Structure 1
Amino acid sequence: MSDESFEAALVRSHTLQAVIDGPDTPARRKLRVLTGDRPTGPLHIGHYLASLRNRVVLQDKGIDSFVIIADYQVITDRDAVGDLKRIVQECVLDYLAAGIDPTRTTIFTHSAVPALNQLVLPFLSLVTDAELRRNPTVKDELAATGGRPMSGLLLTYPVHQAADILFCHGNVVPIGKDNLPHVEQTRAIARRFNHRYAGGETVFAEPDALLTESPLLLGLDGTKMSKSKGNTITLGMSADETAAAVRKARTDAERTITYEPGRRPHVASLLEIASGFAGRSPAEHAAEIGDGGAAALKRVVTEAVNEGLAAHRSRRAEFAKDAAYLYQVLRDGNERARSVADATLASVRAVMRMDY
């Protein structure tokens, strides 16, 4: 993505944030958020700090919100789905524990909304093979498979994400800068659909990215934080399990703790974790720890995470007692998502002259 494209997206994001933070107006009431997760493993502190808390903020501002558990996307780069039913249940648990209210936010799964997935077909006619192969996420996910041939599902991953956003006419997509190409691809698909199939009429408005500024946290082994690598602090861990995980975190040989992300990325990432939960800047934490070394740093991180997640874990334990309620939340969300998707597909079929 060019610097010019990023700057334009940043301007749109700032404008959008101003509407969200402003008074209750018709413009704000027209906003609809689409966000979600791929259920490849338990949600972790990276999800909590970067997205879950922000979803609750948007919901509490009265923004209509859809959260997708993208179960079909699990098989973009793997042969089996694993214990998918348990992982989906864990996702719902963490959503509810974080404060997502299923009466105000629609929680649903890919596989339960056929009309959403049917939108992928016309959308595929609007993109080229070269565009898909240039997508950074497609390239990164392919590289992570260790030489595995690219599946058709992985190649078309950006189109599936466009369908996720456009099926509900989502116009706010909270993301980090790295995922901006997906929103730009979705904007292109919306624009091309309107031009090619709707005679220039607006069937799909172009969504805007709501760019977040959360730091990119490293996993406890010093590599990218990933559910599949097991290098995370998951939201379902106990306080003792969290302490054990943090003790294994990678640091460096210098005793004095300083916040220097470029020179000391592993120490900086731990300081950023503490900052995310404790509300103090990473530099303030570093100054307080001083020459206490890695052991003191890890104690600070452990305390910050355990205190910051105490209420989440308590609510999580209560919701976990009622599995029937968790599945009712999904059934209700799936029903609403299906209703929205069916209406969108009907309008698409009409403008494509396929409403026989």
Structure 2
Amino acid sequence: MIAIELNSTEDDFSTNITVNLITNRTGLFVTAVLEAFLTIILNLLLLGLCAIIPAQARNQLHIFYTFLAASDLINGIYLLLLSASFYFVNTSIFQYYNVCFSVVVMSSAGISTTGYLLLLLTAMKCFSIVCPLKSLRFITRNAAICLTSLVWSFSYVVNVVPSIAWAREKAFLLNEECSVKMVYHDKVKHFVNLGYVLSGLFVAGVVLFNSFILVKITKRNKVGVQENSKSNTDIGMRQYGKSTKDTSGKTKIQDIKSEKPHLKKNISLKDGNKYDFKKSKNFKAYLTVLMHVGIYTLCGFPLILIVANRDLYKYYYNDRSVRFGCILFLYLTSLINPILTVLRIPIFKKSLWKLCRKYVTKARS
């Protein structure tokens, strides 16, 4: 660690403190750059898979995932800019307020867009499970494009417009770092409160939609078991009635016929109890969306925990490394999303294997 002399000039002080900060931030910077490049590469790959999928095979869900991949790709670019502003603190370009304002505000809007696109995916899966026929009628490809565009616009407007109103009016010092503190100055609390509101809306929406889904799945499973049990019982009684009408003296045949309905009844009841909506493709798609939402919530939990705790918030406010570490963890969701999408969505997985086989064949030939 480089010491700072008390009798140094102001320029020397700024230079020395910059070197000191860079020395402590190298590990975080390298991690952030690696995460950003992986995020960009993986989401470019996913967008490429979206492009090679035949038009007739594309449905509304693929449109949502295409927009999600585009949002995550932009988040990777934002993370590169944040990493540069975090490490190269003495670079003149990040000392311009408008540049710093754009980087900070747009990066917060980008991560909000990813969250609300996941909320939209949850809402669409809720609609398709609760009202399957109506979802086929109303959620068309054009509707999916319009909804995702609307959510995208909402996420940016709700972040940019208040930030313009909270923009710093007083002059800032040249040795200030490009961060939330530089952008909002004494109005950082407003920015934090905006985060609380957006996070609260996200959590409330996720809980509400998943509650509807769980209630519907529970009812559907119960109705399926009851209907199967009732129909199997009726079939058994009808067959038993037919067998008892035959009194031609063939007692062995009558006994066999009278026993078969009971066997069929037991087997059918057993099959009826196996009825489970959770084995359907619709539920598997919903489970994938739920995984995305869970990862997004998990990645944002450290930031919420630190900001909500009064003692930890002091470290968040005063230490740039703590703030950047929370952001770095939050942006992990944009790195994990394309991996989870390819692994869980069959058409993306098939397209990837097809592409790999194509290039392997070319390499061998």
Q: TM-score, normalised by structure 2?
A: 0.23
More strand by share: 1
More helix by share: 2
Structure having the higher Rg:
2
Q: TM-score, normalised by structure 1?
A: 0.23
